[in-house]
Chain A
Amino acid sequence: MAKVVHLPNNKKVEFFCGTGGVGKTTTAAARAVYLTKLNKKVLLITIDPAKRLKQVLGIENKEEGTIQNVSLKLFEDQNELSFDALLMTPYSTLKRVAEENNTSDKIDTNILKTLTKPYGGMNEIMSIVELQMQLKKHHYDTIILDTPPGKHFIDFLESSKKIQNFFDKTFVEIFQFLDKSFQTKSTKFFAPKNLITNLVSTGIKKLLSYLEDVTGESFVKEFIDSVSVLYLNRQTFLDALQFHQQLKKVEFSNWFLVTSADQHKIDEAVELKKEAESFIHHDHFLIINKCLTQDFQDWSPQKIELIQLKESLLHREKLLKEFSSKNFENILEFHEVLSPSPQEHVASLSKEFH
């Protein structure tokens, strides 16, 4: 059983963040199983390009990007209950956005397809957009989000800045220069036609001609076209931007920072802490996954190599716990689980949330 200061209350949105290999995805899936058993209506979204969830939930490749129903029976539960899961692909989310804004016929370009590939750089923005679209349906009690590992966690939290930059004024001036017309209600993004704009435009002309030397003319044209499509959908993106602020509200979201006792990664825990402070609210949880102390309690090996093994593993864990208790208020300690099947693994981790 996990030792805790206080157990996390269920919230509207729950995030699982951490570096690679700490067990983020299985922990997020375990949370989904746990909340489903409490009769909550749950959607589990993964934006991890490694798509471990696919393996855990037995979802086929062709089902990526659409919501799938997952029965608790998969986790050897007798219950008739189930939850929804979405292996997010940025392109399918873009399709949904385009449908909302009647631009479906325009998104079939090479460049948009590249940008919305699993490793294409649109993951974070699209996940915020997807999350907001799902919340608008008011269909779920809780949406659990499994974020990509490492540096991408920051990218994820900074995606609002990316959205902002993307619809930056200078960017808009490029379209103006290229005489692209946007049939939209709002005109506030268009800079006044004054001397400065003209100067910028002259610069842009030069920039584009240089760019053409490097990348070829057709690329610049196609790129501008593709970006214009995104621009036509910009209201959806800007709504997501506003919504991003809500994620920081204590009553709205739970943040689980996942770390693991089996890795020499205290430094990364320090980083995580720093990042957490600047981006999320104070009421967050640190999960120390893969703890061994309890399992080794009754083991007293005789052989020197085994004594060393036991001591070194427990020492590593102790260091991480000491660091954590100094820096985090709410700590959940989860045991190491080794199961041959990912489903058994999730089932046994889900009990840790009790």
Chain B
Amino acid sequence: MSSHRLFIITGKGGVGKTTVALAYANHLKDQGKKVKFFSFLQHSPHKILKSLHLPEIHLELFKSAEVYIAKKLNSETIAHWIMHTPFFKSLFQMIPGLGHMILFGHIIDELENDPELIVVMDAPASGHALTMFESTATFETIFKSGLIVKDIDRMNRFIKTKGNLLTYVVTLPFPMAHQEAKELQRELTEKNVELGPLILNDSLHELLATESDLPALLKNRLELEKTVLAEEPDCLIIPHFNNDSSLERVQLATEKVMQWQK
């Protein structure tokens, strides 16, 4: 078992990141680890987290920036006032990476304050995961001095220190989606992000592989899956689940993660 402290589950829209991230967190909890879940989504999966007894980190972009500035300037009043001026509001809207970087800083704080804690993060590829990793580098070139630069250094150290952070890219088992996932993996690698194996979600391969009498569409799908599987022998495969309930799907996916970890 790895000793990573932060796991990021990312991938393009609609590939089932949230299900996979929940299953991963659930699996870690079953191993007796102290796990918290963090979602970049507007609507985090509160209900499922509650059913699974998985605690969540609540951080709101704007609010956490205010807390951050208050900490830096030692005054909540001034921080509140700064964050509510139109100037700063605009600055914040214009540079989304700034906010994400501050969120990331908060999560690192939590991890440093509690050596037992592990965080699993559900982060969309476009917009969030990449902005976050990219922002530390870009802001370093923009801000040359000031308190924020020290924090940027700290985040860079955290990202680049092997064994802290592990990122998984999730994809659907089709060649086009796979292509995009590989591109994302390449971009993350360029940013010195440590990657886990690719996760193929919603696979029908196991179910259909031995069937002969399939409609054209499913035959086609099986062939496409085979070409991806041939290229990715070491990936984690999460099969398609027929269950309507998302909680049940997370529980079934958790079993798959467990079998794979063994």
- Which A positions have Cβ atoms within 8 angstroms of B? 19-22, 48-50, 52, 55, 110-111, 114-115, 117, 119-122, 148-152, 162, 165-166, 168, 170-171, 174, 203-204, 207, 210-219, 222-223, 260, 263-265, 267, 292, 295-296, 298-299, 301, 303, 305-306, 308-309, 311-312, 315-316, 336, 338, 340, 342, 345
Can you list 16 pairs linking A and B with CB atoms under 8 Å apart?
A19-B13, A114-B142, A119-B97, A121-B94, A171-B86, A214-B146, A214-B147, A217-B146, A219-B146, A264-B244, A298-B215, A299-B215, A306-B207, A306-B211, A312-B242, A340-B224
- Tell me the complex Cα distance, A55–B174, Å: 14
Inter-subunit contact B146/A120 (CB<8 Å): no
Which of A152, A166, A216, A306 sits near B146, CB closer than 8 Å?
A216
Q: List A contacts of B144 (CB < 8 A).
A: 216, 218-219
Inter-subunit contact B174/A174 (CB<8 Å): no
Interface centre among B13, B95, B134 (most CB of A within 10 A): B13
Inter-subunit contact A207/B88 (CB<8 Å): yes
Which of B73, B95, B207 sits near A114, CB closer than 8 Å?
B95
Known: A114-B142, A338-B217, A342-B176. A20 touches B13 (CB 8 A): yes
Q: Output the least CB separation between B20 and chain A (Å).
A: 14
**Given A49-B126, A219-B143, A338-B224, 10 other A-B contacts at CB below 8 A?**
A20-B124, A114-B138, A117-B134, A121-B96, A165-B93, A213-B146, A214-B147, A215-B146, A215-B148, A216-B149
Check if B51 is an interface residue, CB within 8 A of chain A. no
Known: A21-B13, A120-B96. A212 touches B224 (CB 8 A): no
User: CB-CB contacts of B194-217 with A at 8 A, as 1s and 0s?
Assistant: 000000000010010001011111
Inter-subunit contact A214/B148 (CB<8 Å): yes
Inter-subunit contact A148/B126 (CB<8 Å): yes
- Tell me the complex Cα distance, A117–B97, Å: 11
Inter-subunit contact A119/B14 (CB<8 Å): no
Inter-subunit contact A121/B87 (CB<8 Å): no
Inter-subunit contact B142/A222 (CB<8 Å): yes
Q: Output the least CB separation between A238 and chain B (Å).
A: 16
For the complex, count residues of B whose C-beta is within 8 A of A: 66
Check if B131 is an interface residue, CB within 8 A of chain A. yes
Q: Output the least CB separation between A155 and chain B (Å).
A: 9
Known: A149-B126, A217-B145, A342-B176. A21 touches B95 (CB 8 A): no
Q: List A contacts of B43 (CB < 8 A).
A: 267
5 smallest beta-carbon distances between A and B, as pairs: A20-B13, A21-B14, A216-B146, A216-B145, A312-B242
Q: Output the least CB separation between B180 and chain A (Å).
A: 7
Check if B261 is an interface residue, CB within 8 A of chain A. no
Known: A22-B14, A110-B142. A115 touches B95 (CB 8 A): yes
Inter-subunit contact A50/B12 (CB<8 Å): yes
Q: List A contacts of B29 (CB < 8 A).
A: none
Kindly identify, within residues 42 to 89 of chain B, every residue whose CB is under 8 Å from any CB belonging to chain A: 42-43, 69, 72-73, 78, 81-82, 85-89
Q: Output the least CB separation between A325 and chain B (Å).
A: 20
Q: Output the least CB separation between B246 and chain A (Å).
A: 6
Q: List A contacts of B252 (CB < 8 A).
A: none
Known: A121-B96, A342-B176. A165 touches B207 (CB 8 A): no
